[in-house]
Structure 1
Amino acid sequence: MKIPRHFFIGCLIFIFLGWSSFSVNALAISIPDEKKLGKQFMEMIREQRVILHDPIARQMINTVGRNIQSVLPTQPFDYSFFLINDDNFNAFATPAANIFIHRGLIDALDNIDEFAGIMAHEIAHAASRHVSESIDRAKLVSFGTIAGMLAGILIGNSGGGDAAKALTMGSMAAGQSSMLAYTRENETEADEKAILFLKQVGYNPKGLLSGLTKLRESDYRGVEGIPDYFKTHPGTGKRIIHIAGILTDYTPDKDKKPTPDTFDFEMVKYRLMGLYGDLTKSFNNVENKLEKEPENPALHYGIGLLYARKNQRDLAIFHLQKALSIKIFDPMILVELGRIYIHQGRYEKALDLLQGITEDPVLEILAKYYMAIAQIESGNLISAEKNLKQVLALEEEAYPRAYYHLANIMSQEKNQAMSHYYLGIYYDETRKLKNASHHLKKAVETLNNPEIKKDAEKRLTDILKSIKKKKYS
């Protein structure tokens, strides 16, 4: 998935113009102001639907993030970690300690220490309030830059195409470094703090060094071949030399236990590649690696997911079963086997597999979701409804399609009012606002339950405001 350039341009304009009315001190914007900006910025991010809510990947990101955060002194912000569904290598901290990791970053790294190194670096930026400093510096960007960016968007909206792109890119080139980039001093401070955090938690700080070195040497796409990460994190070559110097004599503390991980980094990496990566590129990548490592269960897992996307389900099952023969009873593999059995119409076999997944709470919820789908197809609507409601009660954000399946159940039970209600929520969650408003209007007209009707009315009001705002923005 490639995130539209105009979205980031809009974010840049928002950051600049949104802060013109706030008071700031000499070093950084105030904490209350940054919290306010962080909230508004997150609204923009969520509106674009670019956050990937894969429950297993999110568990890994949150676990690593919380582990590192645990060694920080008291912080003014609640740290939040998000995965962006984009295949570029990037990671960045935004206002109020909202930290974003691109899917492509996980694809590019090889182990949990490298991933933790990048996470620790971004957390160090947030803890040092480098984000607020960069926003404060953005006030110095000329109005010509802003005008160019606005003109680019205006021409783009009028169908100007190449001219709009030229204006926009010209404006971004002039002001990008002062609006987004950290200073070299910021980078040095973040690297040094990251190394301290990693040592305290139990990750190997050499992961930060190997991750940066690997990424610098690789041929990642980007403007003039530069990975997105390095555009906002300057001086990478000197950073690598500096980090290498710090870690020359590093040896792990023998008395410190390594951080326990409740996941396998390779399995998460190839899950993301298998489910969300570019199909052709990811398939070729995993297939080539599998030729060199034919007994690697993570590679069999990944290529199994890719075969499933190609509707070659027998091959998908073959590779997942191969992975399972190496990682016996692994619930990540069992869940995906169950999902593919459902696609084959083998509902009882799917249910037999999925019902036994109870030890890992994240995977148990995912299993319940797939169980509900199998139960709908088998005609067991009561159990399906119960499972879907449990899933939504525990992880609503990760399972918007659960509302679609509930609507299907209500439709089969001839409860059209509730079917419209659930469809309205589903389309609202997926930001198909016209469809959402249509179904919620129908729900409001026909619902008898006063509490549910009140909720439908509130949702409808919010949606109509959003539609109106988009129309005149």
Structure 2
Amino acid sequence: MHSPMTRHLTLTAAFLALVLGLATPAMALFTEVTVADEAEMGREFHQQIVKSMPLVEDPMITGYVEDVVQRVVDAMPPQPYRVTSTVIRNGSMNAFAVPGGYVYVLTGLMLNLKTEDQLAAVICHEMGHVSQRHVAKRMEDMELASIGSYVGLIAGAFLGATGGENNRNLGQALMMTSQAGAATAFLVYTKANEVEADHVGLTYLVDAGYRPQALAETFQIMLDKRWGMTGNKSLPSYLSTHPAMSERMAYLRLRTKELPPKALAQRADNSRFLRVQAVIRGNLSDPTASLAHFNSMAPGDFTCLDYMSHGMVLARVNKQAEATHAFERALECGGNDPLVLREAGGFFFRSGQFDKAEPLLKKALVRDPTDALTLFYNARLLGEKKQFPQAIKTMRLVLKEVPRDAEVHYHLGRLLGESGDLFAAHLHLAYSALYGHDIGQAKFHGKRAEGLARTPDQKERMEELKEEMKLYADA
């Protein structure tokens, strides 16, 4: 009989083989996978995601997704672990949840859905897989497996996600590897798993107060978008590992019709979803696809958010005059909206038009004093005026909201350097490079900071940096 420690090491070794794309000899997998095992595997997997994938740091987006996930979780039976959400910047229409309660939503999914109800529907389906422990049960069906087939099992359960263009190591970690080979067909979610996740997910959706029709609607959108998606070569579509979608939509519609009128009438307020979607389309999506979207719209259909989002895309492709016009149109109809003010002010700041940017960003700050990006631009404005103490104080407030944001660390480092605090400057530039996956530059600034460390506090902060660098060293 294997001890709990041996069991844990075996499962963790298998999981790390998944994450690192390692090939090892055949290994026995145990016939029981406990909740503790799931939690540990999920934690190990999440560490690799954080190290390797381009994560969205904007609290407006991450906070919104967290709220939707939490609303779903609150409608579920109590779970044995805390559910956490992460937003990945990738154009694939995809989402997945892994053992241990880790939920991942890709920006491509949010961009191509129409309502919060539909986003919640996908999350509910994925949480159905987690709550019913489908991955663990599939593992328990296999008394012996090679690491390759174990990789196939986990990869199939994680919706066949691949990270190829984003990160070579993560691509090895998540893709359906050749090692999985013939085992793949057996190892992906079974039809019974999918049907159960559909039915359990629909129950969660209704109990959370969302529109029950949204689950079938979302599957239909995925079918319609299947051949027309752009800018998402690094991850396959949701449908790639969720077969028989048409059949499942049919029975979901039948079940939905049987629900009471009160359930059929409920729906989410869509305002936050549309605001988040506008930011994703403007700043985080493939610009060619975003421009095609706006070019297909009739001029009379543009909202203030559309003008703003269009301006953001135009700025990204260096069409400054057209971007200026779009932002001016956005300000005409949405001049009191802190999001429009923030994005317009940010555009004028990046264009060097500080006199235009300052009143917009100050007004945005008054209307939403906690918005991290508004604080970020105001801190940079203060830096341009050489008001370094206030600029640094403001940028540190931003850092509390987004502690792993490479750009925030970079600009804080610059401000600290200009103010004369060279140790802290190099420290934050090291963190910036680290979170930007430039290990060489991180080591360079880390050595410079270490050479300047004199006080016990500075030496302690150096040790914290070294520990963080160890986590990223193999990413």
TM range (shorter): 0.7 to 0.9
Q: Distance in 2 between matches of 1:13 and 1:49?
A: 14
Q: Distance in 2 between matches of 1:143 and 1:68?
A: 34
Q: Distance in 1 between matches of 2:89 and 2:135?
A: 22
Equivalent residue in structure 1 for 2:409, among 391, 394, 403:
403
Q: Distance in 1 between matches of 2:176 and 2:207?
A: 44
**Identity of aligned pairs, percent?**
22
For the Cα contact (< 8 Å) 1:286–1:302, is it kept in 2?
A: no
| One-letter amino acid matched to 1:59 | G
Q: Counterpart in 2 of 1:114?
A: 118
Q: Counterpart in 1 of 2:273?
A: 265
Q: Counterpart in 2 of 1:310?
A: 317
For the Cα contact (< 8 Å) 2:121–2:201, is it kept in 1?
A: yes
How far apart are 1:325 and its partner, in Å?
3.5
Q: Distance in 2 between matches of 1:390 and 1:405?
A: 13
Pairing of 1:458-469 with structure 2 (within 5 A): 458-460=464-466, 463=469, 467=473
How far apart are 1:320 and its partner, in Å?
2.7
Q: Give yes or no for the alignment of 1:128 onto 2:132.
A: yes
Q: Distance in 1 between matches of 2:40 and 2:294?
A: 43
How far apart are 1:353 and its partner, in Å?
2.0
How far apart are 1:372 and its partner, in Å?
0.8
How far apart are 1:328 and its partner, in Å?
4.8
For the Cα contact (< 8 Å) 1:137–1:178, is it kept in 2?
A: no
TM-score by length of 1: 0.82
For the Cα contact (< 8 Å) 1:13–1:146, is it kept in 2?
A: no
Q: Counterpart in 2 of 1:276?
A: 284
For the Cα contact (< 8 Å) 1:313–1:340, is it kept in 2?
A: no
| One-letter amino acid matched to 2:185 | S
Q: Give yes or no for the alignment of 1:176 onto 2:176.
A: no
Q: Counterpart in 1 of 2:210?
A: 203
- Superposed CA RMSD: 3.5
Bigger mean CA deviation after superposition, 349-358 or 37-46: 349-358
Equivalent residue in structure 1 for 2:447, among 438, 441, 445:
441
Q: Counterpart in 1 of 2:35?
A: 31
Q: Distance in 1 between matches of 2:293 and 2:119?
A: 20
Q: Distance in 2 between matches of 1:378 and 1:331?
A: 23
How far apart are 1:265 and its partner, in Å?
2.0
Equivalent residue in structure 2 for 1:66, among 67, 70, 83:
70
How far apart are 1:241 and its partner, in Å?
0.8
Q: Give yes or no for the alignment of 1:236 onto 2:245.
A: yes
Q: What CA deviation, in whole Å up to 9, does each residue of 1:300-348 have, x standing for no partner?
A: 2221110111222332232233234444522221110110111122324
Q: Distance in 1 between matches of 2:264 and 2:54?
A: 42
Change in 2 beyond 3 A, CA 1:406/1:18: farther
Unaligned runs of 5+ in 1: 1-7, 149-155, 157-163
Q: Distance in 2 between matches of 1:103 and 1:61?
A: 11
TM-score by length of 2: 0.82
Give 3-state SS (helix, strand or coil) of 1:100's partner.
strand
Bigger mean CA deviation after superposition, 456-465 or 61-70: 456-465
For the Cα contact (< 8 Å) 1:124–1:193, is it kept in 2?
A: yes
Q: What CA deviation, in whole Å up to 9, does each residue of 1:167-187 have, x standing for no partner?
A: 9865445233334x2111111
For the Cα contact (< 8 Å) 1:120–1:197, is it kept in 2?
A: yes
Equivalent residue in structure 2 for 1:422, among 423, 428, 441:
428
Q: Distance in 1 between matches of 2:74 and 2:389?
A: 43
Change in 2 beyond 3 A, CA 1:199/1:422: same
Q: Distance in 2 between matches of 1:305 and 1:62?
A: 25
What is the aligned length?
439
For the Cα contact (< 8 Å) 2:406–2:432, is it kept in 1?
A: yes
Bigger mean CA deviation after superposition, 109-118 or 318-327: 318-327
Bigger mean CA deviation after superposition, 78-87 or 242-251: 242-251
Change in 2 beyond 3 A, CA 1:239/1:347: same
Q: Counterpart in 1 of 2:167?
A: none
Q: Distance in 1 between matches of 2:256 and 2:76?
A: 21
Q: Give yes or no for the alignment of 1:40 onto 2:60.
A: no
Equivalent residue in structure 2 for 1:99, among 85, 97, 103:
103
Q: Distance in 2 between matches of 1:417 and 1:10?
A: 39
Change in 2 beyond 3 A, CA 1:362/1:66: farther
Give 3-state SS (helix, strand or coil) of 1:448's partner.
coil
Change in 2 beyond 3 A, CA 1:346/1:129: same
Q: What CA deviation, in whole Å up to 9, does each residue of 1:47-106 have, x standing for no partner?
A: 213322232221221111111111112111111111121111111111211111121111
| One-letter amino acid matched to 2:385 | S
Q: Counterpart in 2 of 1:364?
A: 371
Q: Distance in 2 between matches of 1:361 and 1:20?
A: 55
**Higher relative CO (CA 8 A, sep ≥ 6), structure 1 or 2?**
2
| One-letter amino acid matched to 1:298 | L
Q: What CA deviation, in whole Å up to 9, does each residue of 1:398-443 have, x standing for no partner?
A: x332221122122212332222122112222222222112211221
